[in-house]
Every structure is written in structure tokens, then in C-alpha cells.
Amino acid sequence: MAGTVYGLLDCKNVNASGVLDAGEQYVAIYTFMSGHPNWTLIARQGDGTYGGTTNNNFFVVRSNAQGYYMLVQVSNSLVQNFGEAPGNPGLLQGLATSAGGLGFQFAWGDDGAGGNGNPWAGTGVLGSSVKGSPVWVVPPGGSKLMVWPRSNSANILNTGNFSTLKQDCMGYIVQSVASHFTSMWADDDSFMLCRSVDGGVGYRVQLFGSFTPSPGLVYRKPLAGLLTSTGNLPFLAAQQYGTLNGVAVNNGGIASMDGSMVLYARVARLTTTYSATYQPNKRTTPNSHDLFPMHVYAHENIWQGNGGHFTFPAYECFNAVGPEISTDGLRAIFPGIATQATTKLVMPWKSGLAKPGTNTTKEGVSL
């Protein structure tokens, strides 16, 4: 982890409309990230405010510390597909869906000799920015470019829509339910978003950022992303995060060691420790749950092997009740299903704020 963790917690959307709620979530993300002191707003299409016109609006921010870029785009109309103007070219999970959805891309390029390390190919002034085609390019003077999700990297199946235009986003369709709760965090290195899709225990997560390589491993740029798009938590150990065509229940990817492409990612866990026998930890009085960093590794064809653990202070625990907050109120537990004896995520929380799923405003609470 690096730097202070900022957050916007428990933003509540109550439109019972996936299209409208997607717009509200987009505005909340924009408000949060454009105001983060250690990220810089690079581009924006639209005004980024509630009630504004948000059809295929997007914005781009840069992690100043890590030098990678994040694009967020919204499709907010039943009559316009994701990726149409002004958000073109663009796909959401490999598709030009017409439903209300949010897409994310992350890109990094090396600065090389005298380069600026900027892979964003878009142009225009803030508010009227347009994408380039392709959306991301190797920075001037550089030689490497990585774009998440995995589908934007070269592969043998498809080099037209995906790897050439670098247009595919990882993300999700916002369902039409009575209430959504969305929380997001960012430190200097990482961005994380967690959302309830049912107003209850069904949380889904996107995490992107740096990881600490395991001893002996040398990564050019240790970045990885995991997204549960249409599947609830927990991240699944046997699940591949990232596909060649972008259509995925779970999406993401991990940097190759040399920084040249994005590979399928998987998560790994301790085995015996993640059990009701060992959790909560009987060593503590009262018993408390151990917190474990999330471990990610590459799992693709001939490129397979260990990566490391995410630096962002989001941890896993096992056999805890959720959603819930810690005794000191500084952490919150996010479940995926109601069963207690499962893996859950533990994220920073604001002392004094009730447990996730209880706030009443779409603006959320700042951390």
C-alpha cells in the first residue's frame, strides 16, 4: 500500500432502474476520483454531474505514483449502445450492450527514452474529450503497453476489435433492483469498487492496482486487476480472470513480467487456514478473524507462475458475518453470499458509519 486511502462509501441508488443507477454510480466515481489528491484528471467527456447528459460519457484519470491510467465509461440509455459516440470506440465486456452499464479500462505504457509514459491517445479539452482510435497506444519513446482487461492484449483469436483498437472495457450491467450500494476506495496505487447488487449480501468487486511480487520475482510493472462482473464474491481460486474475447463472468488480468502484455490472472489462498476450524483465530481474546492479503498469479498457456499480493489494504477473511463492521469501525466486511463459512473481503471503513448497506444518500460518505 502507498499513501492515504481515500474512499466514498455506501452510495445508495434507489431508482430501481439500472440505467439511471448506472448514471449515478458513474457520477459518484467521477466525483471521487477527480477529487483524489494523488490522481490527475486527464480527460472527460460530459460534465460529470448528477442529472447531466451521461450517454457514453467517460473520464480518464492517472495514478501519479504508478503512472497508469484508468478510464471509466457509462452507457446510460436504452436507445444507445455502449461504445457509441461520444464514447467510441468502446465495448463493455466484449459487447456493445444497450443496457445501463459501467466500463473500466486500465492502461500503462513505459516512458522509454525521453518519453512521457502517456498511453492515452485521446484528444480534446475537458468536457469534450474524445477517444483516439485505438484508445491506447505505446507512449512516445516507449516500447511497452499493457491494457486491462486481458482482451485488449494480442491473441491468436481476435486482433481486430480488441487488441487493435484497445477498446474493450471490463465492467458490469447495473440491474434494476430496489437499491444499490456502492463503495469505492483509492490510495496512491490502487482503485477498488464494491457494490451490492441486491441491497443485501450480494457484493461484487473490482480491484485494480499494484502488487508486491513474491521474493525472487522481478516485474517490470507489477499491476493486476480482478473483477467479479456478474458473479458475487468471493474471488474464486479456480477462476480465470480475463478472457480473450472479453465476455466474462469474471474479468481482469495480470501484467507479464516484462510489461509487454496482460495475462489471465488467478487468485491463490492458504488452504488449512481458510476453515472454520482456524477462523476466527482462537489466539485472540475475544476471538477475531485473521486478515490475509490477496494473492494473484498468472495462469495462461505457457506463461504461468506466481505474482504476489495486492498492496491495497483490502484483505480476505473467513467465517465472518457480513456485511458488518469491525469493533473499532475502521473496517467493513463484504460478503458475496449469506453463508458464514465462506471467504469475505475486508475493506477500510469510516469510524462512526454504520455497516455497509445502511446509508441513505447517493453521494455516499467520504473516507
Partner 1 sequence: MAGAIHGAVDCYLYENQASSLNEAQAIFTRLYKFFISLGNVTLVARNSGLGAASGDVNYWFEANPFLPNAWAVFKRASNVNRAFDYYVMIQFSSSSTSFGASPGNPGLCLATANSSCVGIAFCIGVGGDGNPWKGAGVLGANTKGATVWGTPTAGTTFLPWPRSNGTSGTHAANRENMLAIAATGGTTTNSGPFRLHCLSDDDAILIAWDPFDAFNHSFLYFGPYTPLPGLTVDYPFCLLLANNGPTLALADTFGDLAGSTAARQGGVVPQASDMVRNMKIDFLSELLAATQFEPNTADTDNASFTEYSIPVLCSEATFEQCLGNISAQTPGAMDGRLLRMMYNAPACRLNQSGTRMVLSATAMAGIKVSIPWPADTQPRGTRTRDGIVF
Contacts (Cβ under 8 Å, ≥6 apart) of 68? 62, 106, 107, 108, 221, 223
CA–CA separation, 92 and 102 (whole Å): 8
CB 363 within 8 A of CB 50: no
Cell 474524445, residue located: 130
Does the protein bind partner 1 through residue 277 (CB under 8 A)? yes
Q: What angle do CA 138, 215, 284 make, to 5 degrees?
A: 120
Does the protein bind partner 1 through residue 270 (CB under 8 A)? yes
For partner 1, which stretch binds (CB under 8 A), given 102-110, 158-166, 179-187, 249-257? Answer: 249-257
Does the protein bind partner 1 through residue 214 (CB under 8 A)? yes
Smallest separation, CB 209 to partner 1 (Å): 14
Smallest separation, CB 282 to partner 1 (Å): 5
Residue 122, C-alpha cell as written in the block = 485521446
CB 57 within 8 A of CB 87: yes
Does the protein bind partner 1 through residue 281 (CB under 8 A)? yes
User: Smaller CB distance to partner 1: residue 104 or 312?
Assistant: 312
Smallest separation, CB 271 to partner 1 (Å): 4
3-state secondary structure 74-90: EECCCCCCCCCCCCCCC
Does the protein bind partner 1 through residue 326 (CB under 8 A)? no
295 Cα distance to chain centroid: 16
- Return the sign of the alpha-carbon dihedral for residues 299, 251, 307, 115: positive
Does the protein bind partner 1 through residue 321 (CB under 8 A)? no
CB 343 within 8 A of CB 267: no
Does the protein bind partner 1 through residue 266 (CB under 8 A)? yes
For partner 1, which stretch binds (CB under 8 A), given 92-100, 181-189, 261-269, 346-354? Answer: 261-269
Which residue type occupies 246? G
In the window 19-58, what residues touch partner 1 (CB under 8 A)?
Answer: none
Does the protein bind partner 1 through residue 327 (CB under 8 A)? no
CA–CA separation, 10 and 366 (whole Å): 9
Does the protein bind partner 1 through residue 230 (CB under 8 A)? no
Which residue type occupies 2? A
Does the protein bind partner 1 through residue 156 (CB under 8 A)? no
Does the protein bind partner 1 through residue 198 (CB under 8 A)? no
Using DSSP's 3-state secondary structure scheme, residue 331 falls into: strand
Does the protein bind partner 1 through residue 218 (CB under 8 A)? yes
Site string for partner 1, 290-319 (x = CB under 8 A): xx---x-xx---xxxxxx---x--------
Does the protein bind partner 1 through residue 341 (CB under 8 A)? no
Does the protein bind partner 1 through residue 98 (CB under 8 A)? no
Q: Closest Cα to residue 267, out of 289, 241, 290, 244?
A: 241
For partner 1, which stretch binds (CB under 8 A), given 121-129, 160-168, 199-207, 216-224? Answer: 216-224
Does the protein bind partner 1 through residue 155 (CB under 8 A)? no
Q: How many CA atoms lie within 13 A of 263 on its CB side?
A: 22
For partner 1, which stretch binds (CB under 8 A), given 39-47, 145-153, 198-206, 269-277? Answer: 269-277
CB 160 within 8 A of CB 1: no
For partner 1, which stretch binds (CB under 8 A), given 9-17, 161-169, 206-214, 337-345? Answer: 206-214
User: Smaller CB distance to partner 1: residue 92 or 254?
Assistant: 254
249 C-beta neighbours (distance < 10 Å), count: 15
Q: How many CA atoms lie within 13 A of 353 on its CB side?
A: 25
Q: Which DSSP state fits 66? A: T
User: How many residues form the binding site for partner 1 (CB under 8 A)?
Assistant: 42
Contact residues: partner 1, CB under 8 A: 212-218, 237-238, 254, 256-258, 263, 266-273, 277-279, 281-284, 288, 290-291, 295, 297-298, 302-307, 311
